[in-house]
Structures are given as C-alpha cells and as structure tokens.
Structure 1
Amino acid sequence: MAAKSFDMIVIGAGPGGYVAAIRGAQLGLKVAIIEREHMGGICLNWGCIPTKALLRSSEVFHLMNHAKDYGLSAENISYDLDAVVKRSRGVAKQLNSGIGHLMKKNKVTTFMGEATIPAKGKVAVKTDKGVEELTSKHIVVATGARARELPGFEADGDLVWTYKHALQPPRMPKNLLVIGSGAIGIEFASFYNTLGANTTVVEVMDRILPVEDAEISTFAKKSFEKQGMTIMEKAMVKQLDRGKGKVTAHIEVGGKVTKHDFDSVISAVGIVGNVEGLGLEALGVKIDRTHVITDEYCRTGVDGVYAIGDVAGAPWLAHKASHEGVMIAELIAGGKPHPVKPESIAGCTYCHPQVASVGLTEEKAKDAGYDIKVGRFPFIGNGKAIALGEAEGMVKTIFDAKTGELLGAHMVGAEVTEMIQGYVVGRQLETTEEDLMQTVFPHPTLSEMMHESVLDAYGRALHI
C-alpha cells in the first residue's frame, strides 16, 4: 500500500496540535492529525475545561451558603458530587465532539492511533485497522505531557490521586492532602475545600503559587487560610504509608518530621513530557528532562521536525500551545510569523480568589536590573467589587521607571482571569504608563482597578 502524502502532519490533537492543523488547512496545506486518545487533548478532556466546570459548581455552592449576605435566603443547602462531576464530564464531551467537527470542516484528515516517526519525513500510525504509513516534509510533535509521579507517591486511584482521579473522585474526601501548590494543586484544593473537605496543601518552595509575585502569593495564602485550608510551606512529604481507608503522610518542616492522617491525597508535583515511543532520539532530536529542545520558532534542529506546547517545555499553558500551533503552521506555509514570547503569556489560576499575571514579578524585574515603579490598588476601593460582595483582592502593576514600559501585572480576586487580558493587550502594543492613564475605563467595573493601579505607581491614585 502506498504511503499517504501530506504537506504537514501533526502528532497530538490537544490545543496546540488541533489549532496548528486548522491554521495549516486555512493556509491551503494538506494536513493530517494523529491522536491516540481524545480529540482536544488533556486540556479539553482532563484539564483546563472540566476543572473550570467543577470550580464553577463550587463557586455557586459558596454563594448559596452566603445567600444571607445578599439579602436572600437558601435553606438545606447541599450538593451531589456525582451530579457535579457528571456536569463537568458533559462540558468536556460537548467540546470534544466540537473538535472532530472542526477537523471535518477544515478538511483535516484524522487518524486515531499511536504515531512513531521511523525516519525523517515519515510517520507510521498504529490504528485499530493496522499500520498506516504517511509522509510529509513537515512533522509537528504536539504530544503534550502527563502528571509527574514520584517513587512511593504513585497514584492508585483510591487513596492517592492524579488530576484525572480528582476530576472523577471515588468519594468526597474528608481529610485531603494536596502535594504541590502550582495551578493544578491549588485549583483542586480550592474546589474540595469549598465543598467541605479539611484540606492541607504542602509546598516544597518557600511560598505557595511559587511562580507568582510574592505579594500575590502571600495575599492568596491568607485568603485560603481564612477559608479553613492548612498551608505548609518549605515543607516536604517524605513518605506515604497506605493503610485501610487512610494514608499517613510523613511531612518534614524545618528538619522535623510529623505524621498526619488523610483519607485522600492529590499529587500535583508537576508534569513530564510525552516524548517516549516516538523515535525522536533516533532522529537526532535533543531531549532535556522529558522536554524537546527547540528554538524560538519551535524547530528541533532536525530538518522538518517541530515541537510545540507542553512537550516543548514551559510555560505549560494551553494558550501558549495554540499560539505556537498558529506560528508553526504559518512558518511551514512560507510565512514570516513572530516568535511567541514566553514573558507575554498570561498565567491564570481559577481558585477562590482567582489569581492572574503577565510579565515580570517585582523580584524578577529587580533581578533584571530595572529601576521600577510599583502601583497597587485593593478591591475594597472599587465600587463594583463591593456591590458584588467580592471586596477581597488587589491589582499590582510594575513599570520601568526610565521608559514607562509595563513590565508586569499581577492580580488576585474575583474575575481577575478575565481582566488580565487588558494588560496582555497593553504589553503586546508596547504600551506605556501614559497610554494606560489616558485610557477611559468604564464605570462601574472591576477593570477600573487596573487604571487605579497604574495611577498609583505614579502617585496619582484617586480612590485610595
């Protein structure tokens, strides 16, 4: 059987791969996409989307419990965890089928199966029907990543969970341990804590949400503790003893180990790239700690082989993968796209309160040698935040004192994951403090705090 020939073959149909395929097709390329499990990848099926659905349920539950604060009454408030999970899975399923439709609409040829790259320009796909042989000058590796599992902390689906188990839990935890306080760990901690689990978060670094600005991390920690969470920083889980219906965790803080009992443990200690079994090393592709090494245009150094998204390293964000997918398709089609700048990519964590940021933290700006101006504005000074009953939070902006360039923006509070985009656009347009000060923000909105934070950096805040 003759090999099928394509202009571009994409391995992996997550938010990087399927977007690359669509953009390639739009540009007139003949595109094939290969997926071994779910169209939409982890993000859509087991990550970004279903977790947001769960968190929305916990947010509504939280508001129902505070109905009195809004002059309303709600009695005998409860939840059905199975129904909450069922809604989350339904949301993921709806979007998953939507990806299949997008592939058909854009005339992208889809293969469901395991891919290998036996030689440059060749891809073999093991499907239910046998092995399909494909050829292309351009192969895009978009195979994503999976949860890192540490020895002794392996998930069993009963007592110890990865994010997948946490999305379809076997029970509602009473005493929950979350190992790791990045976005995944904190989002699950927030969800289960809101539904009533006694939640403990253990973080090895000196603060939770370690990639965020230190001031924002501190603010978030206080909020979480107020909600009843136990936060242990500079702490390490040394071992887990699994018993019947319980796990005893040996946790070391300041050189002293103490034992704590839990009925459920979520391990969220990072991710590893899906680089195995593809034949990348044999082709000469360089891999460092499970991630493919690429240049700023996602080229691997092996002619015609590219890598995008999580498999190509940090930041591990769906929107970074999608943007790289578009860039790579334009490059293959003969265009001259701009490379994706990691420092211009926003990070969003959908805990309660939400956390969002873009650009440099205060510490990183100082380390980079900038003379900076920092502005802050609290939610308590904003009319809309008070009207919403969401007066807890802050917006922080960092400027280069010499040029007025917006170096970074950091927020914690209600709806900040939507607001951050204003600063992202501002950075893309190379805005200065003057541009932002001259911008008229609508009233009453939470976004006015973005304006006030800029004004505050220059001693001009009006409402504080």
Structure 2
Amino acid sequence: MTQTFDMVVIGSGPGGYVSAIRGAQLGLKVAVIEREHLGGICLNWGCIPTKALLRSAEVFHLMERAKEFGLSADKIGYDLAAVVGRSRGVAKQLSGGVGHLLKKNKITVIMGEATLTGPTKLSVKTDKGTEEIIGKAVVLATGARARELPGLEPDGKQVWNYKHALNPPHMPKKLLVIGSGAIGIEFASFFNTLGADTTVVEVMDRVLPVEDAEISALAKKQFVKQGMKILEKTSVKKLDRAAGKVTAHIEANGKVETQEFDTVISAVGIVGNVENLGLEAVGVKIDRTHVVTDEYCRTGVPGLYAIGDVAGAPWLAHKASHEGVMVAELIAGQKPHPIKPNSIAGCTYCHPQVASVGLTEEKAKAAGYDIKVGRFPFIGNGKAIALGEPEGLVKTIFDAKTGELLGAHMIGAEVTELIQGYVVGRTLETTEAELMETIFPHPTLSEMMHESVLSAYGRAIHF
C-alpha cells in the first residue's frame, strides 16, 4: 500500500518535528519518519540532557560555596546515578512531549528507516514490513553523529562519545577530553565540577576556537582556576587500552609524550547522517558528509530539501528549527526570508557560560571593517556581584561608519540568556544609537549589554 503526503520529513529532531508542525499549521498533509527516538539527538542525547547534568553540577558548585552566602551545608556530596537519572527523565519527558505535539497537529508518524527511491519517493522499513511513501516534497532532517578518528574510537567503557558520557558507567577519576568545542568543554566542565582530574586537549591554538580570541582567553583562565589542565596546539595520536587505564600518546611541538587516564571522552566534531538514504542515486550533492543546499535549504533536486545538522554548519538546534519553519513555508507556497548564519547565536553551557553572535573582532578586521569595540566586565555590575558571579565580560563590535552591530561576545553567568538581546538587535538592523537609547532595567545582568555599547563609543558610565 502506498501512502501519499504533501510533505514528508525524515527525522524528528528539532529541525524535523518543528518543520512538520509548521507544515501542518499551513494545511499540509504531513508525515514524519523516525528510525529511533522522537525528538532526535537534541532532546534525547544532546542539548537537553546535557543541560540537566550541568544544572546538577551548578547546584553542587553553589552548595560548596554556601559559606560565601552566609549559609551552611554539611556533608555535601552527590549520587551520580541519581544525577544521570534526573537527566534521562527530563529527556524522556520532552521526547513524549514531541509525540503529543505531532499527534495534536494530526501528523502521521512512521517509525522506520527511510530510503529514497526517487526525488520524493520513499521506501520505509518498519517492524511490520516495507511501506511505500510518496511526498510532493521531502525534507531531510537526519542530523549528525559523533566523528570517530582512527585509534580514538569509543568503546563505551573507558573511551566515551557524548552518548556514553550522558549515561556514564562510572565517575572518572582522571579524565582526558579530546576537543574543546561546545560538547567537549561542557562535559569537561561537568565532570571537573564533580571532582574529576580533568585534562582538555585542543588541536587549535586556543580552547573554544570558534569564539572571539579574547573570550577564549578568559575562558581558559577560568577553567585553569577551576583545576582543569588545558593543552592547546596539541593532538592525541593514539590510545593504548588496558585494564583500568588508557595511555594517551599526546603530541605537542613535535614531541610525543604519554599520559595515563582512566577515562577518555572523544569530542572531535560530527559527521552528517547521509548514508543509506539513496541520496547519490537521486542526484543529491554531498560535501564532507553534509548535503549541499542553497540559502533556502534546496538540494537542487526538485522537491527535496535538507535542514539542520545534515545540511552543515552551524550545527545548532535553533538553526535547524528555523530552517524547518522556512522550508515548510516554502512548500506551502509562502515567501519566507532565508536564514542569515551570522545572526544565529552560539551558546556553550560550561562554567562560566559562553555566548556569541556575529563576527569576532579578528574576523571583522579581516573583512575590512573599521570597527569600534566596547567591553564591560561583570565586576562592574551590581547584580553580578550580588549573585557571587563577578567573573565575566560583555564585548560588542560595531562598524565605525554605519553603527551596525557586527558581533557580540560574552562570558559569565547567564550569558546564554543575555545574548538574545543582541540577536534581536541584529535582526532588526539596530545601530548603536537605538541600543544606547534603550533603557535596561536595574539591577540586572543585562545592564552590562548597555554599558558595553556605551563603552564602544567612549561613554561607559560604571567602568
């Protein structure tokens, strides 16, 4: 039996399920095909459960600082199994919520593995057999998975990927984290806070290498203060595994030395899920495991779109969701605006948090801009001091000629929430004049956003 739909979405992560719901809202007959978990990696094994773990670590950290706040907390400890159990419970709750939303919007959910047999024709293997599905349009939202480097492959026991780290078989005593992007640093922050002796190895010249260099330097300073060992311009060549230990061969400055750890987390990037989908047969172009698309997520094959991680950087859930909405509106005959990658914020939920949008100072200069740069430190903000979080910085970069906000970069408490103010500003094409004239409430952390703008033009009041 062949089923026909206006729109078929392959994958139910934050790109796929959001796209499906928007399509249904616009009156389309929609189906979602999912091979594993509703909600995809983000809800089940990524964004959400990691934040639950990090929240537990944050509370534990604050409990250890109780005396600073005039409080007492004796015999502070943690139950790793309970911490993980809470995280898994949060993921399960949200995954169930996705199922409810799809049902509410009358979207057909097919649990199975899809293969394209034509540009918009699909063969789906399910528990009941094989189904044939035809869509007037098909949206690829198959996501990505952890990259595995030769010799560093995870085994789930001593060498972990992000899935293993989210449901750890033991608490690491001496931990090596390979890679200091968002995933690596978040896990390093979590386990370090809970007491693991943590070393982070980064092949680039600084941690969090996609961030502004000034923010990366401040982050490194805080990580080292917390007890982490940070090795930059360094790589792990191989891992020797034995009972109860892993010997890492670490290369820096042309020399290879060995160090022993009981646990290793490999966080060296991701690869797109493009295999076994029949993409090449229908003419889809693939570049380094990612589907090639235009600014509207069109693959070049009529009726076939790709969104989210499988379509390439930036690999962010909120980017996937917004692309999903855009594509659904295109399929429904509307005329949405294309995505602007430079106006998508990136957030890292380590301690301290890091968030950014737009160009770094280095990239703004390289692009030929004459820039004005403003900075405001957390130590100058009353709310930050009251919270006991005086370490941090808000940095803003403007085009000196037009006043355009080119970029904003932050490190410190709750900056993953603050960054959206600058994202809205960029979307509205706000200049420094509007930001200066905006009244920010007091006492709030957001006042630092105002002061940073003022600083760029020599008008900072409180620093």
Same fold (TM over 0.5): yes
Aligned position for 2:136 = 137
Q: Is the 8 A contact 2:353 2:415 kept in 1?
A: yes
SS in structure 2 of the partner of residue 138 of structure 1: strand
Aligned position for 2:462 = 463
SS in structure 2 of the partner of residue 55 of structure 1: helix
Structure 2 residue identity aligned to 1:223:
Q
What is the CA–CA distance in structure 1 between the aligned matches of 2:365 and 2:358, rounded to whole Å? 13
Please tell me whether residue 202 in structure 1 is matched to residue 209 in structure 2: no
Aligned position for 1:29 = 28
Aligned position for 1:99 = 98
Structure 1 residue identity aligned to 2:305:
Y
Structure 1 residue identity aligned to 2:261:
F
Q: CA deviation at 1:121?
A: 2.2
Aligned position for 2:156 = 157
What is the CA–CA distance in structure 1 between the aligned matches of 2:457 and 2:242, rounded to whole Å? 58
What is the CA–CA distance in structure 1 between the aligned matches of 2:111 and 2:294, rounded to whole Å? 29
Q: CA deviation at 1:291?
A: 0.1
Structure 1 residue identity aligned to 2:119:
K
Aligned position for 1:334 = 333
Deviations 1:169-197 (A, max 9, x none): 00000000000000000000000000000
Aligned position for 1:407 = 406
SS in structure 2 of the partner of residue 241 of structure 1: strand
Q: CA deviation at 1:132?
A: 1.0
Q: Is the 8 A contact 2:151 2:237 kept in 1?
A: no
Structure 2 residue identity aligned to 1:294:
T
What is the CA–CA distance in structure 2 between the aligned matches of 1:202 and 1:163, rounded to whole Å? 16
Aligned position for 2:235 = 236
Deviates more, 1:193-202 or 1:247-256: 247-256
Aligned position for 1:373 = 372
Aligned position for 1:185 = 184
Q: CA deviation at 1:120?
A: 2.2
Q: CA deviation at 1:257?
A: 1.1
SS in structure 2 of the partner of residue 13 of structure 1: coil
- Residues 17-416 of structure 1: pairs in structure 2 closer than 5 A: 17-416=16-415
Q: CA deviation at 1:239?
A: 1.0
Structure 2 residue identity aligned to 1:416:
V
Q: Is the 8 A contact 2:355 2:411 kept in 1?
A: yes
Please tell me whether residue 441 in structure 1 is matched to residue 440 in structure 2: yes
SS in structure 2 of the partner of residue 440 of structure 1: coil
Structure 1 residue identity aligned to 2:184:
G
Structure 1 residue identity aligned to 2:83:
V
What is the CA–CA distance in structure 2 between the aligned matches of 1:117 and 1:170, rounded to whole Å? 38
What is the CA–CA distance in structure 1 between the aligned matches of 2:461 and 2:112, rounded to whole Å? 59
What is the CA–CA distance in structure 2 between the aligned matches of 1:120 and 1:206, rounded to whole Å? 43
What is the CA–CA distance in structure 2 between the aligned matches of 1:59 and 1:256, rounded to whole Å? 37
What is the CA–CA distance in structure 2 between the aligned matches of 1:52 and 1:69, rounded to whole Å? 25
Unaligned runs of 5+ in 1: none
What is the CA–CA distance in structure 1 between the aligned matches of 2:371 and 2:120, rounded to whole Å? 49
Structure 1 residue identity aligned to 2:216:
S
TM-score by length of structure 2 reads 1.00
What is the CA–CA distance in structure 2 between the aligned matches of 1:136 and 1:231, rounded to whole Å? 50
Aligned position for 2:418 = 419
Deviations 1:277-336 (A, max 9, x none): 000000000000100000000000011110000000000000000000000000000000
Deviations 1:354-413 (A, max 9, x none): 000000000000000000000000000000000000000000000000000000000000
What is the CA–CA distance in structure 2 between the aligned matches of 1:121 and 1:377, rounded to whole Å? 52
Runs of 4+ residues deviating >3 angstroms:
none
Structure 2 residue identity aligned to 1:285:
V
Q: CA deviation at 1:119?
A: 1.2
